[in-house]
Amino acid sequence: MSTKYNVVRSGVLAASLLYLAACHKAENVYVSPKVQNASHPITSDTLTGSVTGTLLSGKTYYFSSDITINQFDTLLMQPGSRLIAIGDGKTFSTSPQITCNGTFISLGTADSNNYITVPDNLRNAASIGKGLWGGIQCGETSGDVVIKWTHIEFAGGPAGPAADPNVFAPNDPRNSLSYTNIDGNVIIEDSWIFGTSDDGMRLLHGHVSVMRNTFEDCGTTGGEALNLKNGCVGDVGYNLVIGAATNAFKISNSGGGAVQNKTYLYNNTMLNSGFRQLKAGRGGSIDYEKNAQGKIYNNVIINCRFGMRITPDADVANIAYDNQFFYANAQSLINQFYTVDGVATEKDGDIMSASPKDNNPRFKLYDVDQFDFSAVTPPLSAAQMPSAIVTDVNYDFSLLTSSPAYHKGNASLFKAQRTVPQGGDYGATTLDPNVDMGAYPSDGSGNQHFTSSLSSK
């Protein structure tokens, strides 16, 4: 592949990257320093107005009103830093957002997670869907966004004047991240997106790599876990989505534009999604529509209201798909493994329940029948969906060797697009498809999460 990468352009990050003027496997690569220097360390624990510099490891910072990263500036979170929003979700002025016109980087690690969340007394199930703060809202000329090993929780407060009017109408619920720079890079890795009031993340444009994340209980009466619009090009793989209100993944070229949405969606695991959506016939797992194109392989879809949906107005000629695993304990869900209003049909590599509870996926630690979906009629309220089926309660979605999904993935048909910079602290680790299905392949290379966001402190 000879993709020309759009490199990060602003502030601390641009000054600290070391560029490798060479090719590796016919791709441009950059390498970052092993140690993140605390350039312009932020020592005050309260952030207001325009912010730039470094949030330091082990420190906790607070903001109760909108903060802004100006164009060409960078806000960098070192491993083990916390950014706490003080808000109540009632109005835009009491639901502060991070307005990003520059570059935002959160470099948590497996051993030192970062947090962008609310005070500890509000980090509980009662705050799910309340939209206590306004999320990270990126303008069309913003720099890149790099988020690794970070907990982003309880975003979605109503939009006000600071929110992009091309994205949100007044009082619309905001997302934990919105991104609109068609030339920019969005790298989201190994992170948790929890309890949003609408979409978990909505990326309207840009080069994208979304790898090994966990989306829990996103949306109230509507909302996808991840919503990619026109101009998004990239890879979405090894993500766990549990209990989304509507779709786990919505891929749409709505809005048109010179760059067509081209998303490779593979090796994701989706469970118990689509049941809170109030509109009939909407959502549950995978939805490609409105001239979107891409590849869809090796995904595991468990007890979702609707399975794969490719609408007639998608770029059907340029969508390739196969090797999906579908399981349901209700006949109504089996009837919609491929939605009746779509044009997608069963493929040779698919594995499906022929009847309720047939072909159990045999996860290492998860009871796919702990909730009987044949006993309910959607839409369901949040109160009707126990936390055990919308959050990752110490589960292990790894495949047992006896699983019918074990070694039934397609790993040879295509490689990841890798449209974002690769390697180092600031680049992505974008994985290719695996011989196993789902986000937790048996070689251990996929999703590394085995507990809910709220279980981490």
Query: Does the residue 436 lie in any domain?
Result: yes
pLDDT at 220 over 90: yes
> Percent of the chain beyond pLDDT 90?
89
- Beta carbons within 8 Å of 236's beta carbon, 6+ residues apart: 208, 210, 211, 226, 228, 249, 263, 264, 265, 266, 268
Among 412, 284, 442, 430, smallest CA distance to 349 is for 412
The DSSP letter of residue 15 is H
- Beta carbons within 8 Å of 223's beta carbon, 6+ residues apart: 173, 196, 197, 198, 199, 200, 244, 245, 246
Residue 38 confidence (pLDDT): 57
Q: How confident is the model at residue 190 (pLDDT cuts 50, 70, 90)?
A: very high
334-388: per-residue pLDDT in tens?
999 999 999 999 999 999 999 999 999 999 999 999 999 999 999 999 999 999 9
Q: How confident is the model at residue 37 (pLDDT cuts 50, 70, 90)?
A: low
Return the minimum-mean-pLDDT range out of 10-24, 60-74, 189-203, 436-450. Answer: 10-24
Q: What is the spatial distance between Cα 298 and Cα 396, in angstroms, rounded to a whole number?
A: 18
Number of domains in the chain: 1
390, with CB counted inside 10 A (0-12, 13-18, 19+), is buried
- Beta carbons within 8 Å of 187's beta carbon, 6+ residues apart: 144, 145, 146, 147, 148, 209, 420, 421, 426, 427, 428
| Helix/strand/coil for 399 | strand
Q: What is the spatial distance between Cα 438 and Cα 242, in angstroms, rounded to a whole number?
A: 13
Query: Does the residue 6 lie in any domain?
Result: no
Query: Does the residue 26 lie in any domain?
Result: yes
Residue 15 confidence (pLDDT): 35
Query: Does the residue 1 lie in any domain?
Result: no
What's the length of the chain?
457
- Beta carbons within 8 Å of 298's beta carbon, 6+ residues apart: 266, 267, 323, 324, 409, 410, 411, 433, 434, 436, 437, 438
Query: Does the residue 5 lie in any domain?
Result: no
| pLDDT mean over 63-76 | 97
Residue 368 confidence (pLDDT): 98
Token pair 């695996």 is at which residue?
434
Q: How confident is the model at residue 39 (pLDDT cuts 50, 70, 90)?
A: confident
Query: Does the residue 3 lie in any domain?
Result: no
pLDDT at 248 over 50: yes
pLDDT at 14 over 50: no
Structure tokens at 422: 């690769």
| pLDDT mean over 19-32 | 31
290-316: per-residue pLDDT in tens?
999 999 999 999 999 999 999 999 999
| Helix/strand/coil for 159 | coil
- Beta carbons within 8 Å of 60's beta carbon, 6+ residues apart: 45, 81, 82, 84
* Residue 220, domain extent: 11-455
Q: What is the spatial distance between Cα 437 and Cα 399, in angstroms, rounded to a whole number?
A: 9
Among 306, 251, 310, 316, smallest CA distance to 282 is for 306
Could you report how far apart the first and last alpha carbons of the chain are, in Å? Answer: 41
